[in-house]
């Protein structure tokens, strides 16, 4: 297996961190493209790259520029990444998508979820209040910052100097999600139903089980699965390998 490599490329005027296996220059027949629930790009402000629309266009631009037209895609999304995938398929129906796996999908009524009801006031109306302490914390000497926050940041592989910009960007993006992720896009789901696999959490406060039952009732012939393994929404923190093995098994058995 190829070793993972990290590159920085420019896309839509933004410096974008790309974690990849294999060469960008190789003519692979199938590309597995992971759309996570957060951005890791240094954005050009005029493109609103940290906004929801900017993130969607950023992914489409990456495919146009770096993925050969004859390459088929397997899209893997988590959380808001699932919403981004549906928008990508809607905006560019010519994408050659074999399968799209939606893990813990936040694709509808985010502000009405248990977590959304708590976070909407914070993200939409109070996020500027949080900027000041984050900014002041970012000014502390690195040695002091390490002692204060290394236990938190160690889980994400971030340096202390990343704290303020990444936190501010995440809150900005989160506020847009609360405002814009409203009605489920049944039209796009219906058009691509045979390509989609949805995996809902049994105790996901960002996507209640009722949403699983609702979409399953709307599309009785779709592939909708409910977690029976106790995985949480932020599974990357403690169950990344288990989820990866599960998804690999699904794709291995699927008819792509």
b/e sequence 20-31, b meaning 16+ C-beta within 10 Å: eeeeeeeeeeeb
Tokens 């959304």 sit on residue: 116
Task: Say how far apart CA 226 and CA 104 lie, in whole Å.
Answer: 9
- Any idea which residue has 């990508």 for tokens? 88
Beta carbons of 149 and 163 less than 8 angstroms apart: yes
Cα atoms in the 13 Å half-sphere on the side-chain side of 103: 23
DSSP symbols for 80-112: HHHHHHHHHHHH-TT--EEEEEEES---S-GGG
Q: Which residues are catalytic?
A: 79, 204, 233
CA distance 88 to 66: 16
């Amino acid at each position: 297996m190829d070793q993972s490599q990290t590159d920085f490329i420019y896309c839509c005027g933004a410096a974008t961190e790309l974690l990849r296996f294999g060469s960008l220059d190789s003519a692979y027949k199938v590309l597995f493209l992971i759309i996570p629930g957060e951005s890791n790009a240094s954005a050009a402000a005029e493109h609103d790259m940290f906004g929801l629309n900017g993130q969607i266009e950023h992914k489409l631009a990456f495919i146009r520029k770096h993925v050969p037209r004859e390459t088929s895609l397997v899209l893997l999304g988590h959380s808001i990444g699932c919403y981004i995938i549906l928008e990508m398929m809607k905006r560019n129906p010519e994408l050659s998508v074999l399968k799209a796996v939606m893990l813990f999908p936040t694709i509808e009524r985010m502000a009405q979820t248990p977590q959304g009801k708590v976070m909407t006031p914070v993200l939409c109306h109070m996020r500027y209040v949080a900027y000041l302490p984050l900014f002041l914390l970012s000014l502390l000497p690195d040695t002091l910052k390490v002692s204060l926050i290394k236990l938190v940041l160690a889980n994400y592989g971030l340096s202390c100097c990343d704290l303020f910009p990444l936190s501010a960007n995440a809150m900005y993006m989160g506020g847009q999600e609360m405002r814009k992720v409203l009605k489920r896009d049944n039209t796009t789901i219906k058009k691509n139903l045979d390509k989609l696999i949805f995996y809902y959490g049994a105790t996901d406060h960002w996507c209640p089980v009722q949403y699983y039952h609702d979409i399953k009732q709307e599309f009785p012939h779709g592939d909708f699965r409910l977690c029976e393994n106790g995985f949480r929404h932020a599974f990357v923190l403690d169950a990344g390998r288990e989820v990866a093995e599960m998804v690999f098994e699904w794709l291995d058995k699927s008819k792509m």
